[in-house]
Amino acid sequence: MFYRKFIIFLFIVGTVMVAGCSQIPKTQPKDFTLYYFWNTGALAPEYYYQYEIEIDPAGKGKLTLQKGYEEKEEIFTFTVASKNWSNFYTWLRENDILRNDWKESKEILLGGSTTEVKLQVNGEKYTIPSVSILSQNERKNYYMLEERIKLLVPADIWEQIK
């Protein structure tokens, strides 16, 4: 009898623990943020550049551009329309981007760009490793994500940094 009660108790505790774990909400949470980093990889200073995109929960964004290896930066600010920010979140959820189990490759891309994506959702932090170490299948997911991130930044900013 004791054994049976103990098993039931463990089942209930396990169910509560699983139910209590952070799950990805269907609608955009109030703490949803994005950080994206990209650089050209190792190139001569006149060809090297990097940029970071940061977007806060309200959709206020900042693109920071650094040309060459100097510390001089150009900063561009923008606002992502609420509907676009919400649609981006929905796309992340529907395409299984919000996870930390990205598969890495044994074959690292050498000489390519370096990237990093960090997302915060409902108190959880999700980090997507550099595209240069992702497996081939994961790179496809990453490149789709990268294009979606770039669409959040207004076209006129991209024109200015060409």
Contacts 24+ apart (CB under 8 A), 13-20: none
Q: What is the pLDDT of residue 32?
A: 96
Q: What is the pLDDT of residue 71?
A: 78
Q: What is the pLDDT of residue 123?
A: 93
Q: What is the pLDDT of residue 3?
A: 54
Neighbours of 15 (CB within 10 A): 10
Q: What is the pLDDT of residue 55?
A: 98
To which residue do tokens 């930066």 refer? 73
Q: What is the pLDDT of residue 21?
A: 45
Structure pTM? 0.81
| CB distance 94 to 24 below 8 Å | no
- Domain 26-161: give its CATH architecture: 2-Layer Sandwich (3.30)
**One-letter amino acid identity for 67?**
K
Strand intervals (E) in the chain:
33-39, 49-55, 60-67, 73-79, 114-121, 124-128
| Domain layout of the chain by residue ranges | 26-161
Tens place of pLDDT for every residue, the chain, 162 residues?
Answer: 655 554 554 455 444 343 334 588 888 999 999 999 999 988 888 989 999 999 999 999 999 999 998 878 999 999 999 999 999 999 999 999 999 998 877 666 566 778 899 999 999 999 998 887 888 888 888 999 999 999 999 999 999 988
